[in-house]
Structure 1
Amino acid sequence: MFSWLARIAWTCWKPVRRYARMSKDDLDDSSLEDPLLWCRSLDKHSYGEFSFAVVQANEVLEDQSQVETGRDATFVGVYDGHGGPDASRFISDHLFLHLMRHAREKGALSEDILRSAFSATEDGFLTLVRRTCGIKPLMAAIGSCCLVGVIWRGTLYVANLGDSRAVIGSLGRSNKIVGEQLNKEHNASLEEVRQELRSLHPNDSHIVVMKHGVWRIKGIIQVSRSIGDAYLKRPEFSLDPTFPRFHLPEPLGRPVLTAEPSVCTRVVQPNDKFIIFASDGLWEHMTNQEAVEIVHNNPRAGIAKRLLKTALSEAARKREMRYDDLKKVEKGVRRFFHDDITIVVIFIDHDLLEKKQPAPELSVKGFIDTVGPSSFNIFKD
């Protein structure tokens, strides 16, 4: 369905593109700002600096994101919603607060505390679905991927649901930068994920189905782990056949999706230079290695925006367009050319890791451009 709609959008766009190319000024003007792009060039966090950029493609932005900088820790969250923005917005409003509450209770951070924060966020969103599904039944079909990174006391914690990606750039042999993916992806396009689903559902021959050239769980969704998507987790949220897009061929016997994150811990090494956190919209257009080389070989200021523009230029090239032409496409229609994309680049300055110098305590929400004080402190005051 999506590829068919994309062909229609592209057919409609071609005459406009020809007209746009007739203007010499447009051909030469590469400074035209993208009205759907937001960025923060460079800010400080406890262990270095960070750069932040978001571009909207959907009619309503489904990517939500945040960076929280505290006295002794740095938090990054990238929440790639699907079916609507409700789940990703809910995560942005609640997950970090759950993490702080659990961490303060223990006076420390751990993988179990990260899992507890994810679980509390999932429970909270399903409660919201239960309260509102009578007036908005499609709330049961709204979900979000969720990628979180926390640096605390020289250790990096990464937790993930879905197919966003955290990639660390480290200096290898001959002082060359090397990209290493830190998190597992939960997408049915991966053979490992399909095998996991088949082993968990041995009696369900339709647990993964190839549909329109894409592997999908129950023929509906690509990601196997998420916050939300209640109708694929609990029978009480099943949608009736009036919503054919989300209709299951048989009643749900057991959950086919889970909100259990994959979590990894890494002690930050002297050769670790930066981490790129990004929704899957970036990785559709570049490899891990291409991304870390762009970051390594360019100035820090505006580096997230540079990554974003590189991805958008590649998305335009695939449609035989220039990025300047793509900038003129309105939100909603833009989704036929690329996804919402969120990028956060966290630089690690090792002298700051050792000195523990104070940094501004900021709470930055992506695209909304709200910047305020953060109360990010793992220890009770």
Structure 2
Amino acid sequence: MLHGVRFLRSAVAALARLAHALIIIRSRLLRLMPLCSPTSTSAIPAPWQQPAAARAASPCGSKKAHPPVGTALMALDDPNKDQLQALSSAQTPVVVVVVPALKQQQQAGERAVETKTAAASKAARGRRPPRLAIPAPMACAPGVDPFGAVADLDAEVATELEVQGEGFCLASRRGVRHAMEDGYGVITDHTVQGASQLAFYGVYDGHGGRAAVDFVADKLGKNVVAALAASTTASQQQQQQELSPSSSSTQLPKTSAAVEDEAEQEQVDAVVAAIRAAYLTTDREFLTQGVRGGACAATALVKDGELFVANVGDCRAVLGSRSGVATALTSDHTAAREDERRRIESSGGYVSCGSSGVWRVQDCLAVSRAFGDASMKAWVTCEPEVSRRRLTPDCRFLVVASDGLWNNVSCQEAVDVVVSAAAAGTASSVGSCKELVALARNRGSRDDITVMLVDLQQFISQ
């Protein structure tokens, strides 16, 4: 019985000490709660959003008090009441929290960058673009525009042209460009050294202005006649030397047929050489003018029953027979031709094909041979290709035209149109040329179109 009473007294004492410790802990927690809780229902800003003075005065600002929880828990096992009271009155440790102003510095830097960018953009919008440096004009002949300007010639060049000549006719129409850049030239009833008769026909297609096409139309035919005259004189002198006693004594006798064949071939070679020389001479004379631009050409020379056709560029000459068969007497000089590409590349140039599928020399010019084009003369030559054909009764007419026609009308179609016009009784008029021009335009040609029709029957000996 005595042992039971002692056990109960010990249990009551332990419960009393536990209750006393819990009361002390509760009182300490109640004293700390007002320090870390807001005094009102209004929201309190974060410490970095408060002014410095407010942060210094705030009880929950930069200094916070935390209860010594570890010490309080240790006190639960201490039965000494005085020791618990000493712990309750002990000073709590102070923890100082310092918040750096990194966010404010970042915001200030962003505002500075935005201000600087806005100022630079405003200054750029108000600034004038740099001045363009325009090169000085090249030295030119008196009265010649170095840029090949055609403003003064626009009033003199008609948008449409029709010519009905003796043995030929022509029709021409301007494209959608600012000025007409096609031209033509004709020389008929001309006598060379009082012996043979000749006729010269040419169609020219300029680019970069009318300067080149006007010059070539005026000079090329005259230079061909002059070169033929010089060639005839040289040939006559050579024949006289061959007939002299000194030369005949050292050579073996030849048959009359061999002599005739040799003489004929020499005459043909002389005419071909004269045409080439005239082309190159005209090109050199134009380059001395110091003007821009260039021109393509297709020419026909009829001399002593022989037809000599020459061309540079993409102008074309097509022969029409009595049976209505078309025969192209020229081949277009473009960068798409394999032999022309090899020639250009061997001269240090290059050809390229653009997105439109057109091959160009130095990414610029679509033709590989032409008059002028001084800046590209190293690759764009003016040496023509010359073909020769003996005229026969089957040779009916010749169609000479610029690429404005041939880009939309085939050679056979052009001959068919002329043959149909002849069947309708309009072969000798300009009507067939006009019909070809209209056909090309209706098919979408935007280029200048010039068509010349030459009657070859007038040169056939009856």
Please say if 1:230 is aligned against 2:348. no
* Distance (Å, rounded) in 2 between the aligned partners of 1:293 and 1:206: 39
Please say if 1:156 is aligned against 2:275. no
1:353: Cα distance to partner?
3.0
* Distance (Å, rounded) in 2 between the aligned partners of 1:258 and 1:296: 36
Q: How far does the alpha carbon of each residue in 1:66-105 deviate from its partner, in whole angstroms, 9 at most, with x for none?
A: 1211151111011100011111111111111111211112
- Structure 1 unaligned residues grouped into runs of 5+: 1-34, 130-138, 234-254, 319-336, 356-381
Distance of aligned partners of 1:170 and 1:228 in 2 relative to their CA distance in 1, 3 Å threshold: same
Distance of aligned partners of 1:199 and 1:68 in 2 relative to their CA distance in 1, 3 Å threshold: closer
* Superposition pairs of residues 295-314 of structure 1, within 5 angstroms: 295-298=418-421, 299-301=425-427, 303-314=429-440
The residue aligned with 2:174 is 56
The residue aligned with 1:292 is 415
1:284: Cα distance to partner?
1.7
The residue aligned with 1:186 is 333
Q: State whether residues 320 and 395 of structure 2, in contact with CA within 8 Å, keep that contact through their aligned partners in structure 1.
A: yes
Q: What amino acid is aligned across from residue 223 of structure 1 in structure 2?
A: V
Of 105, 121, 130, which aligns to 2:282? Answer: 121
The residue aligned with 1:354 is 461
1:209: Cα distance to partner?
3.2
Distance of aligned partners of 1:112 and 1:221 in 2 relative to their CA distance in 1, 3 Å threshold: same
Q: State whether residues 209 and 218 of structure 1, in contact with CA within 8 Å, keep that contact through their aligned partners in structure 2.
A: no
* Distance (Å, rounded) in 2 between the aligned partners of 1:116 and 1:204: 25
The residue aligned with 1:264 is 387
* Distance (Å, rounded) in 1 between the aligned partners of 2:199 and 2:305: 11
The normalised TM-score by structure 2 is: 0.52
Q: State whether residues 65 and 77 of structure 1, in contact with CA within 8 Å, keep that contact through their aligned partners in structure 2.
A: yes
SS at match of 1:197: helix
- Structure 2 unaligned residues grouped into runs of 5+: 1-157, 191-196, 233-266
Question: How many residue pairs were aligned?
Answer: 259
The residue aligned with 2:11 is none
Structure with larger Rg = 2
Q: What amino acid is aligned across from residue 225 of structure 1 in structure 2?
A: R
SS at match of 2:288: helix
Distance of aligned partners of 1:314 and 1:95 in 2 relative to their CA distance in 1, 3 Å threshold: closer
Please say if 1:102 is aligned against 2:227. yes
Q: State whether residues 168 and 274 of structure 1, in contact with CA within 8 Å, keep that contact through their aligned partners in structure 2.
A: yes
The residue aligned with 1:39 is 162
When the two chains are superposed, the root-mean-square deviation of aligned CA atoms in Å is 2.3
SS at match of 2:452: strand
Q: What amino acid is aligned across from residue 277 of structure 1 in structure 2?
A: V
Q: State whether residues 51 and 303 of structure 1, in contact with CA within 8 Å, keep that contact through their aligned partners in structure 2.
A: yes
Q: How far does the alpha carbon of each residue in 1:267-289 deviate from its partner, in whole angstroms, 9 at most, with x for none?
A: 11221100001011111221111
* Distance (Å, rounded) in 2 between the aligned partners of 1:124 and 1:199: 24
Please say if 1:170 is aligned against 2:321. yes
The normalised TM-score by structure 1 is: 0.63
* Distance (Å, rounded) in 1 between the aligned partners of 2:420 and 2:328: 19
1:197: Cα distance to partner?
1.6
1:166: Cα distance to partner?
0.3
Please say if 1:341 is aligned against 2:449. yes
The residue aligned with 1:316 is 442
Q: How far does the alpha carbon of each residue in 1:38-89 deviate from its partner, in whole angstroms, 9 at most, with x for none?
A: 1124x32xxxx21111112232211110121115111101110001111111
* Distance (Å, rounded) in 2 between the aligned partners of 1:288 and 1:178: 9
1:146: Cα distance to partner?
1.4
Q: State whether residues 301 and 307 of structure 2, in contact with CA within 8 Å, keep that contact through their aligned partners in structure 1.
A: yes
* Distance (Å, rounded) in 1 between the aligned partners of 2:219 and 2:375: 21
Q: State whether residues 185 and 218 of structure 2, in contact with CA within 8 Å, keep that contact through their aligned partners in structure 1.
A: no
1:167: Cα distance to partner?
0.2
1:208: Cα distance to partner?
2.8
Q: Identify, as 1 or 2, the structure richer in strand.
A: 1
SS at match of 2:380: coil
1:143: Cα distance to partner?
0.5
Q: What amino acid is aligned across from residue 367 of structure 2 in structure 1?
A: V
1:119: Cα distance to partner?
0.9
Of 66, 72, 91, which aligns to 2:185? Answer: 66
Q: What amino acid is aligned across from residue 166 of structure 1 in structure 2?
A: A
The residue aligned with 2:85 is none
* Distance (Å, rounded) in 2 between the aligned partners of 1:210 and 1:102: 40
